[in-house]
A and B are shown apart, each in its own frame.
Chain A
């Protein structure tokens, strides 16, 4: 089944403890992206990647890192999480060409930082 998977789905952690949220897609998509969704603020893009080894900042990159060493994986790294990073996180991927905005989302990761 074609899909985007994220792990973990739920995570409660403490301030400053490094964590990684994994994202993997099995559709051979070149484009991948991370969003966070907060009440009243909608979806905000954190980072995106046009292809392997090519990443760029979205609107809210502070406090996050990403890497794209393989086409299928795009992990989101929080080196020193803080409470303002408590949010619902979504990974998305998209095939190349017209239709970049045709994106396929993972199920989400609900992160709580205390």
Chain B
């Protein structure tokens, strides 16, 4: 699986958009980009995933660059409840490796009033 690099921490003002970057320069053509978050000691929460097109759902938008070497998760109007550690994961889709999720260090996002 391709390695991902994320900033260790970021701050965002409440009500503003939070843009969380992720680098995955060695991503291969059949690997998806997944985003999860974990609020302190709660179960990880799936946010969104994509292959090459930009994706949007009720939680966030995922922007993937044309060369697929990086992506950005956008929380359009961050709230205090969005304070969490955000994980970018690159995996081949399907049932490979028993569906095991491996979280790296992630980005600790602090949303401030």
Cβ contact within 8 Å between B103 and A104: no
Distance A58 CA – B104 CA, assembled complex (angstroms): 18
- The answer, yes or no, to whether B94 is at the interface (CB within 8 Å) is yes
- On whether the beta carbons of B91 and A101 are closer than 8 Å, the reply is yes
Known: A4-B43, A108-B42. A100 touches B102 (CB 8 A): no
Rounded to whole Å, the gap between the CB of B85 and the closest CB of chain A is 11
Given the interface pairs A50-B95, A102-B46, the reply to whether A59 lies near B100 with Cβ below 8 Å is yes
Q: Mark A91-114, 1 if CB is under 8 A from B, else 0.
A: 010100011111111111010000
> Could you tell me if A105 and B100 are in contact, using CB atoms closer than 8 angstroms?
no
- A31 closest partner in B (C-beta): B99
Q: A50-B95, A98-B93 are in contact. Are A103 and B101 (CB under 8 A)?
A: yes
**Which of chain B's residues have a CB closer than 8 A to the CB of A98?**
93-94
Q: How many positions in chain A have a CB within 8 Å of any CB in the partner chain?
A: 28
Quick one: given A33-B99, A42-B102, A48-B99, are A100 and B43 in contact (CB under 8 Å)? no
Residues of B within 8 A of A4 (CB): 43
Residue B29 lies at the interface, judged by CB distance under 8 Å to chain A: no
Closest A residue to B51 by beta carbon equals: A98
Supposing A100-B95, A101-B34, A101-B89 touch, asked if A48 and B100 sit within 8 A by C-beta, the answer is: yes
Picked from A48, A90, A104, A105, the residue with its CB within 8 Å of the CB of B98 is A48
Q: Which A residues fall within an 8 A CB radius of B?
A: 4, 31, 33, 35, 42-43, 45, 48, 50, 56, 58-59, 88, 90, 92, 94, 98-108, 110
Interchain Cβ contacts under 8 Å between A and B, 12 examples = A4-B43, A31-B95, A31-B99, A42-B102, A43-B101, A43-B102, A45-B101, A48-B98, A50-B95, A59-B100, A100-B93, A102-B34
